[in-house]
């Protein structure tokens, strides 16, 4: 089974802090995604990566950046956290287009 | 534009009753379709997927879904709901559109409550 591990289940930070959310997968998948999930809005794509050191913006990239230095690790960075970034963040990976995505358990981030 | 619509935000059914969750999509090529379930505080778990072939697909936990191309629908069904099925359900579409590269588009989700 594919295992996608997000470093924190719950995280509380203050406005203006730089926040790192980490995601590690163990299946050698090239494709990795970061989503945020908010009630009534479903999952919205923040950034994705098809290869090491490669990244593309998703639908809502503002206020976020990403890093992919190694194939198995995809990090989401909130450069200067704001209260409107309080949300559930989900990391996902998949093998190739058309295949299902495999999700981590999510990080519930609160910005105070 | 590609999109997924789940018309029902919240559904309540009695335990043992049948269930149907609706999903309609818009996609400019042959779609791959998925249903995911999310229990409270958890990530998304794949229930089933449709790529091609038989339009009625079976998934885990007794769920099935039917792909109807003419109606652009992929509704999820279960003949008898259990209390443990209470969760949020997401429909998603993806494919090989040149500018999509396998990205999935998710619906807004349907929250299922189960009455004893």
Structure confidence by residue, pLDDT tens digits, B39-98: 988 889 999 999 888 899 999 999 999 999 999 999 999 999 999 999 999 999 887 654
- For the cut 60, the answer to whether the pLDDT of residue B99 exceeds it is no
- For the cut 80, the answer to whether the pLDDT of residue A1 exceeds it is no
> What pLDDT shows up at residue B101?
57
**Number of CB pairs < 8 Å for A and B?**
57
- For the cut 50, the answer to whether the pLDDT of residue A55 exceeds it is yes
- For the cut 50, the answer to whether the pLDDT of residue A57 exceeds it is yes
pLDDT mean over A72-101: 91
Q: Are A13 and A108 in contact (CB under 8 A)?
A: no
Tell me if A41 and B51 make a contact (CB, 8 A cut-off). Answer: no
Between residues B53 and A10, which one has the greater pLDDT?
A: A10
Q: Are B38 and B92 in contact (CB under 8 A)?
A: no
- For the cut 80, the answer to whether the pLDDT of residue B100 exceeds it is no
Q: How far apart are CA B49 and CA A12, in angstroms?
A: 36
The angle at the Cα of B48, spanning B60 to B111, to the nearest 5 degrees, equals 85
Structure confidence by residue, pLDDT tens digits, B101-115: 567 889 999 999 999
Tell me if A94 and B102 make a contact (CB, 8 A cut-off). Answer: yes
> What pLDDT shows up at residue B40?
86
Any idea what DSSP says for residue A75?
E
Structure confidence by residue, pLDDT tens digits, A21-54: 999 999 888 889 999 999 888 899 999 998 888 8
Chain A touched by B29 (CB under 8 Å):
no
Q: How many CB atoms lie within 10 A of CB B18?
A: 11
Q: Are A74 and A91 in contact (CB under 8 A)?
A: yes
Closest Cβ opposite residue A43 in set B49, B96, B106? B106
> What pLDDT shows up at residue B44?
92
The distance of B96 to chain A (nearest Cα, Å) reads 7
Q: How far apart are CA B38 and CA A108, in angstroms?
A: 14
Tell me if A98 and B103 make a contact (CB, 8 A cut-off). Answer: no
> What pLDDT shows up at residue A26?
92
> What pLDDT shows up at residue B96?
61
Structure confidence by residue, pLDDT tens digits, B2-16: 889 999 999 999 999
């Amino acid at each position: 089974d594919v295992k996608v591990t997000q470093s924190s289940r719950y995280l509380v930070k203050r406005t203006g802090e730089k926040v790192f959310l980490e995601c590690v997968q163990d299946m050698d998948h090239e494709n990795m995604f970061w989503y945020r999930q908010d009630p009534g809005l479903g999952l919205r794509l923040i950034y994705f990566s098809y290869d090491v050191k490669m990244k593309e913006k998703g639908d809502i990239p503002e206020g976020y950046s990403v890093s992919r230095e190694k194939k198995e690790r995809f990090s989401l960075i909130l450069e200067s956290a704001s209260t409107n970034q309080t949300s559930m963040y989900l990391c996902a990976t998949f093998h190739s287009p058309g295949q299902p995505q495999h999700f981590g358990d999510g990080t519930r981030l609160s910005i105070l | 534009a590609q999109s997924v619509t789940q018309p029902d935000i919240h559904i309540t059914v009695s335990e043992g009753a049948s269930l149907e969750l609706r999903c309609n999509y818009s996609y400019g090529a042959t779609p791959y379709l998925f249903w995911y379930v999310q229990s409270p505080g958890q990530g998304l778990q794949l229930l089933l997927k449709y790529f091609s072939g038989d339009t009625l697909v079976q998934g885990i936990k007794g769920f099935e879904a039917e792909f109807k191309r003419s109606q652009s629908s992929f509704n999820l069904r279960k003949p008898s709901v259990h209390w443990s099925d209470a969760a949020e359900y997401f429909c998603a579409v993806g494919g090989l559109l040149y500018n999509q590269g396998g990205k999935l588009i998710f619906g807004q989700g349907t929250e299922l409550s189960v009455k004893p």
